[in-house]
Amino acid sequence: MLPLDLDALTGCLASSACLVTQTTSGFIIGMLLFLVAVGLTLIFGVLKVVNFSHGAFYMFGAYFAMTAYQLTGSFALAMLCGAAGTAILGLVFERGFMSRVYGADVLMQLLVCYAFVLIFDDVVRMIWGPEFKSMGMPAAFQVAPLFIAGGVVPPYYLLLISVALAAAAVLGLGLARTRIGKVIRAAAHNPGMVSALGINTGLIYGGVFALGGMLAGLAGALAAPVRSLTPGMGFSVLIESFIVTVIGGMGSILGALIGALLIGMIRSFGSLGFPLFTEGLMYLFMVIVLVSRPTGLFGKEVA
Amino acid sequence: MTRTRKPGVSRRATLAMMGAGAVTFATPWVARAQAKTIKVGMPTILSGRVAQLGTSSRNAVMLEVEKVNAAGGLAGRQIEMVIRDSKGQPQEAARVARELVNTDGCEILIDAEASSGAFAVHEVARDLGVLCIHTNSETSSLTADPKQHIPNAFRTARQGVHDSIVGGSYAAAIAKAKGLKKWATCSPDYAYGRDTTGEYVTYLKRFAPDVEIISESWPKLFQPDYTEVVTKILQAKPQALYSCLWGGDLTSYIDQANIYALFSQMEVFAVNMADYTALTVVKNLPKGIHSGNRYIKTYPATPENAAWGDAYKAKYNEYPTNWSWENATAIMLLAEASKKANSADGKKIAEALRGLKIKSPFGADGTVTMRAEDQTLVGYAIGWGTTIPQEPYVPQVQAGDWKTIFELEAEWKKSKGYT
C-alpha cells in the first residue's frame, strides 16, 4: 500500500457527503483536544509552569463522570461531576503541591508533575481497578445519526462540539471582558504588581489551575461515553495537547483552538490521503511551525 | 614439651564450628532440593494495560494447582508456584525467567507472556534446558518454525494460523451466502495485528476468491480515538469489515462506531469480540458481530466446560479469559504427564508430554492433544458465531473442523519452508 492515496483525498474533497463527515470528525477530535490543551496553555500563561500531569485531569474527569452516571443515571449530572470534581482536584493539587515549586528549577517542577502522573494512575488503579471500563452511551443519544448534505453526523458529537465551543467562547469572553479576566491577565503579566495592589495572587493561581483542571475534566467526561477508560489514559491525550500548544503558541487561547482544530483536520483528512503517515504529518507540521515561528502561530515573544 | 592452651577458641574448635555451621545452613537447601515441593516458575504480565490477562492466567493456574496438590502433587511432590511480574517487557521476562530457575530453584517454567516476551523466555529455556510451557503466545512460528524447536519447550495456547483457517472459512461461507465481495480491514498497527489480518485475508480469499479488500486501516495500538478510522471505513462503503482489535481498543472502537451506525451498514467480523473481558464491558453491544471463540463457558457446550467456568467465577468473581484456559491446560497436561512418567523430573515429563492426549473441558471433542512433532496443542475448541448483548453472548458457535485445519496447516508450513 502506498503511503499516499491522493485519489481518495481529492475524491473526498469533491464530495459534499465525505466533506461533511470528515470535517465533523476533525472537529470532534479537535474540540476534545482543545479542552485539554487550553487548560495547559492557560496554566502556563498565568502560572508559568508546564503542567505535565494535566492528562491525569482528563482521566479523572472520565472516571468521575462514569461513576456519577452509574450512580444517578443522569448524563448532565455526570458531566457536572466530571468537571466539578477535577476543578476541586486541581485546586487541591495546586495549593498543596504545585504552589511549592513556583520559581523553582524547571526540572524540579517536571519531577513533581511526573511523580503525580504515576501517583494519579495508581490511585485510579486502586479505586476503579486496572481493567478497562466503559461508561456506555446515554439512552437519549442512542439514536440514528443525522445526515447533513449526505454526510453522517452523530447527534452526540453535535452536543460535544457545541459544549466545547461554548466553553471556548465563555473562556475567551470571560478573560477579555470581565473584571476577573482582567485580573488574571494582569497576574500573568506582572504578578508582583497585582499582589501589591492587594489582590490575592494565591487565590488567582489556584483558581486558574482549577479552571484548567476543570476543562480537562470536562473533556474526559465528554469522551467517557465513547472511549474506553483505563489508568494512564491521559498520557496520549497529553502528548497531542503538547503538539497543539507548540503549534498554537504557549499561553494563547486562540492558538490552542486553531492548533487543536488543525490536528483534528490532519487526522481526519490525513487518514484518507496519507493513511500511513498521519502521525508523522502532525509532527512534521509541528516542526515546520517551530522552525518558522518558534513561539508558535499565536505565541508572543517571551520578554 | 607441654602444650599450653591459649585462651580463646582453638583452631580445631573453630573448624568444627564452621563445619557445623555449614551443615546447619546447607541442610534446608538440601531438603528443599530433594523433598516434597517442586517449584514452578511463572513470569507473566501483572501490571500495565494487559494486567487483567496476566492476572487471569495466575488465577487459572492457582485453581488447577490446588486440585493437583490435593490429589498428591507431581509424583508425590507438592507444586509451589513462584509467580513474577514481567511488566510485559521482553527483556524483563527473560531476566525474571532466568532468575526463577537459577536463584529460586524452579524446576519447571510456565511462560505466561504475550508473544513478544514468549520468544525471549524461549531463548532462556533453550539456554538452561529447563522444561518450559508457553501458555499465551499465539504466534504460529514459535512452534512451527523448526529453528525455534527445542525438546524442552511446549505450547498450550491456540495458534494464529489455526484461528485464521477457521475464521477465513467461516467468513467465506457467509461472504458467499450474502454476496459480500467488498471488504475492509481495521487492525492495530503492530506485529500481531498485521500478521493475523494478513493470514485471515489469505484464507478468506482462498475460500471465497472473488473477495476484494477495498480499504485498510491501521490505527495505533491503544489509540484513544478511532473517529477518523470509522468515518474512513464509512466512506469506503464496504459490505464487510474485519478487525483484530482487542480489549479496551475494541470496546472504544465499538462505542465510537456505534454512534455512526456502522454496524447496521456492514457485516462485522471481530475475532477478539467473544471474550468476557470485552463482552462484559461494552454497554451497548451490537447484535450480530461475528467473532471467534476465545473463552466462553457455553462453548464447547459441555457440563465440564460450564462447571469449569462457574468454578472460576465463584472463586474470583469474574469470568475466565482466553489466557485462563490456556494456562489451566498447561497444569492439567503437566499433572497427567507426570503421572504417566511417574516422576517430577523435567526431562521425563517432557518425554511423556509428547503426543499426550488428555480429557479437557476445552477440547473440541472433550480431549486435547500435545502434538508430538511440533510440541504444540491441537484439538482445542475453535469456532465462530454471532454475538447478542446478554449472556450467553454467543448463543451458537459453529465449530471449526480440525481435519481441514490439519490439511491447510501442513500446506501453510510447506509454503513457509518449515517442512
Spell out the domain ranges in chain A.
6-131+145-175+204-292
3-state secondary structure string across chain B: CCCCCCCCCCHHHHHHHHHHHHHHHHHHHHHHHHCCCEEEEEEECCCCCCHHHHHHHHHHHHHHHHHHHHCCCECCECEEEEEEECCCCHHHHHHHHHHHHHCCCCCEEEEECCHHHHHHHHHHHHHHCCEEEECCCCCCHHHHCHHHCCCCEEECCCCHHHHHHHHHHHHHHHHHHHCCCEEEEECCCCHHHHHHHHHHHHHHHHHCCCCEEEEEECCCCCCCCCHHHHHHHHHHCCCEEEECCCHHHHHHHHHHHHCCCHHHCCEEEECCCEEHHHHCCCCCCCCCCEEEEEEECCECCCHHHHHHHHHHHHHHCCCCCHHHHHHHHHHHHHHHHHHHHCCCCHHHHHHHHCCCEEECCCECCCEEEEECCCCEEECECCEEEECCCCCCCCCCEEECCHHHHHHHHHHHHHHCCCC
Percent of chain A with pLDDT over 70: 98
A222's grid cell: 465528554
Strands B376-378 and B357-359: unpaired
Contact B235 A1 (CB under 8 A): no
CA B11 to chain centre: 59
pLDDT band at A51 (very low <50, low <70, confident <90, very high): very high
Residue A113 has pLDDT above 50, yes or no: yes
Q: Chain B contact for A137, CB < 8 A?
A: yes
Q: Is A232 on the interface with B (CB under 8 A)?
A: yes
> Average pLDDT for residues B371-378, to the nearest whole number?
96
Tell me whether A144 touches chain B (CB under 8 Å): yes
Question: What span, in angstroms and rounded, lies between the C-alpha atoms of B198 and B187?
Answer: 10
Residue type, B119: F
Q: How confident is the model at residue B29 (pLDDT cuts 50, 70, 90)?
A: very low
**What is the pLDDT confidence band of residue B9, given thresholds at 50, 70 and 90?**
low
Which pLDDT belongs to residue A1?
Answer: 47
Question: Among all residues of chain B, which has the CA nearest to that of A118?
Answer: B48
Q: What is the pLDDT confidence band of residue B13, given thresholds at 50, 70 and 90?
A: low
d(CA A70, CA B282) in angstroms, rounded, equals 14
Closest CB to A136 among B47, B229, B283: B283
> Would you say B117 and B95 are in contact if contact means Cβ atoms under 8 Å apart?
no
CB contact under 8 A, A275 and B218: yes
The confidence score (pLDDT) of residue A100 equals 92
CB-CB contact of B226 with B252 (8 Å): yes
Tell me the pLDDT band of B7, cut-offs 50, 70 and 90: low
Distance (Å, whole) CA B381 – CA B80: 30
Tell me, yes or no, if A157 comes closer than 8 A to chain B by beta carbon.
yes
CB atoms within 10 A of CB A175: 17
Cβ B297 vs Cβ B308: under 8 Å = yes
Assess contact for A206 and A44: CB atoms under 8 A: no
For residue A283, pLDDT over 90 is answered with yes
The answer to whether A87 and A217 have CB atoms below 8 angstroms apart is yes
Cis peptide before B392, with omega less than 30 degrees from 0? Answer: yes
pLDDT in tens, B199-216: 999 999 999 999 999 999
| Cβ <8 Å between B220 and A276 | no
pLDDT category at B19 given cuts 50, 70, 90 is low
Overall average pLDDT of the B146-157 stretch: 96
| Section B56-73 average pLDDT | 96
Interchain proximity B227–A268, CB inside 8 Å: yes
Out of 3.40.50, 1.10.3470, 3.10.620, 2.130.10, which CATH number does the structure's domain A6-131+145-175+204-292 have? 1.10.3470
pLDDT of residue B33: 45
**What is the average per-residue pLDDT within B185-199?**
90
pLDDT at B48: 75
CB A209 within 8 A of CB A47: yes
Residue A278 has pLDDT above 80, yes or no: yes
pLDDT at position B17: 60
Does the pLDDT at position B336 exceed 90?
yes
A272:B49 CB<8 A: no
Closest B-chain CA to A11: B235
CA separation for the pair A88, A212 (Å, rounded): 11
Give phi and psi for B359, each to the nearest 5.
Answer: -70, 140
Q: Give dist(CA A41, CA A32) in Å, integer.
A: 15
Percent residues over pLDDT 90 in chain A: 72
**A3 pLDDT exceeds 70?**
no
pLDDT at position B6: 55
With contacts defined as CB-CB under 8 Å, which chain B residues touch A155?
Answer: 259
Measure A220 CA to nearest chain B CA, in Å.
Answer: 11
As a whole-number percent, the residues of chain B with pLDDT over 70 amount to 92
pLDDT value at position B52? 85
Q: What is the pLDDT of residue A6?
A: 82
**pLDDT of amino acid A92:** 96
List CB contacts (< 8 A) between B56 and chain A. Answer: none
Please give the helix or strand (H or E) that residue A153 lies within, else none: strand A151-153
Shortest CA distance from A265: residue in chain B: B228
Q: Touching check for A220 and chain B: CB below 8 Å?
A: no
What local confidence, expressed as pLDDT, does residue A22 receive? 93
- How confident is the model over A172-224, as pLDDT tens digits? 999 999 999 999 999 888 888 999 999 999 999 999 999 999 999 999 999 99
Residue of B154, B105, B151, B96 whose CA lies nearest to B129: B151
CB within 8 Å: A134 and B216: no
Mark yes or no for CB contact A275/B281 under 8 Å: no
Domains, chain B: 34-159+320-349 (3.40.50.2300), 161-301+383-415 (3.40.50.2300)
- In sequence order, what are the residues at sequence separation of 6 or more whose Cβ sits closer than 8 angstroms to the Cβ of residue A301? A295
How far is the C-alpha of B110 from the C-alpha of B125, rounded, in Å? 11
Q: Tell me which of A24, A141, A227 to substitute to probe the interface with B (most B C-beta atoms closer than 10 Å).
A: A227
In the predicted model, what is the mean pLDDT of residues B151-155? 97
Alpha helices in chain A (DSSP H): 6-14, 16-47, 54-72, 75-96, 106-128, 155-177, 179-189, 191-196, 201-223, 234-248, 253-273, 278-292
pLDDT averaged over every residue in chain A: 91
Question: Of the candidates A225, A179, A243, A204, which has an alpha carbon nearest to the alpha carbon of residue A34?
Answer: A243
Strand order in the sheet with B153-155: B79-85, B38-44, B108-111, B131-134, B153-155, B376-378, B367-371, B357-359
Nearest to B224 among A8, A236, A275 (CB): A236
Question: Average of pLDDT values for A240-256?
Answer: 91
Residue numbers in B near A26 (CB within 8 A):
228
| Residue whose C-alpha is closest to residue B185's, from B175, B194, B172 | B194
Residue B10: the pLDDT is: 65
Mean per-residue pLDDT, B403-416: 94
B258 contacts A232? CB cut-off 8 A: no
Average pLDDT over residues B269-274: 94
Task: For residue A32, list chain B residues with Cβ-Cβ distance below 8 A.
Answer: 225
DSSP A299: P
Strand B367-371 vs strand B290-295: parallel, antiparallel, or unpaired?
unpaired
Residue identified by cell 496447516 is B409
CB B329 within 8 A of CB B156: yes
B283: closest chain A residue by CA:
A136
Task: Examine the pLDDT at B1 and tell me if it is beyond 50.
Answer: no
Q: Is A151 helix (H, G, I), strand (E, B) or coil?
A: strand
Alpha carbons B46 and B53: distance in angstroms, whole number: 8
Q: Is B397's pLDDT higher than 60?
A: yes
Cβ-Cβ pairs closer than 8 A, A with B, add up to 110
Average pLDDT value for residue range B12-26: 58
Query: How many CB atoms within 10 Å of residue A104?
Result: 12
Are A12 and B231 inside 8 Å of each other by CB?
no
Residues of chain B found within 8 Å of residue A159, distances taken between Cβ atoms: none
Q: Which residue has the cell 477495498?
A: B214
Q: Which residues of A touch B52 (CB under 8 A)?
A: 130-132
- Chain B residues lying within 8 Å of A152, measured CB to CB: 231, 234, 260-261
Residue A302, pLDDT > 70, answer no
Tell me if A1 and B216 make a contact (CB, 8 A cut-off).
yes
The pLDDT score that the predictor gives to residue B12 is 67
A290 — pLDDT class (breaks 50, 70, 90): very high
**Averaged over B368-392, what is the pLDDT?**
96
Res. B47: pLDDT tops 60: yes
The alpha-carbon gap from B412 to the nearest alpha carbon of chain A, in Å, equals 24
DSSP-derived letter for residue A300 is: P
Nearest CA in chain A to B224: A227
Give the mean model confidence (pLDDT) for residues B234-250: 93
The neighbour count for residue B92, using CB atoms within 10 Å, is 18
Q: Is the pLDDT of residue A2 over 80?
A: no
Q: Compute the average pLDDT of residues A228-252.
A: 91
> What are the backbone angles phi and psi of residue A252, rounded to the nearest 5°?
-105, 125
| Confidence at residue B28, expressed as pLDDT on a 0 to 100 scale | 44
Cα separation, A208 vs A49, in Å, equals 12
pLDDT of amino acid A7? 82
Give mean pLDDT, residues B351-380. Answer: 97
Question: In this complex, do B228 and A25 lie within 8 Å of one another by their Cβ atoms?
Answer: yes
Q: Which residue of B has its CA nearest to A12?
A: B235
Query: What are the chain B neighbours of A146 within 8 Å (beta carbons)?
Result: none
Residue B311 pLDDT more than 90? yes
CB contact under 8 A, A236 and B222: yes
**pLDDT attached to residue B14:** 63
B253 within 8 A of B223, measured Cβ to Cβ: no
Contact criterion met (CB < 8 Å) for A237 and B49: no
Condensed to tens digits (0 to 9), the pLDDT of residues B312-323 reads: 999 999 999 999
The 10s digit of each residue's pLDDT in A119-140 is 999 999 999 988 889 999 998 8
Question: In this structure, are residues A255 and A245 in contact, taking their beta carbons and an 8 Å threshold?
Answer: yes
Check CB contact under 8 Å for A228 and B255: yes
A276 touches chain B (CB under 8 A): yes
Selection from A209, A205, A211, A283 nearest residue A246 by Cα: A283
User: Which among B52, B223, B249 has the least Cβ separation from residue A130?
Assistant: B52
Residues A144, B261: C-beta atoms closer than 8 Å = yes
Mean pLDDT, rounded, of chain B? 91
Pairwise CB contact (< 8 Å): B255 & A18: no
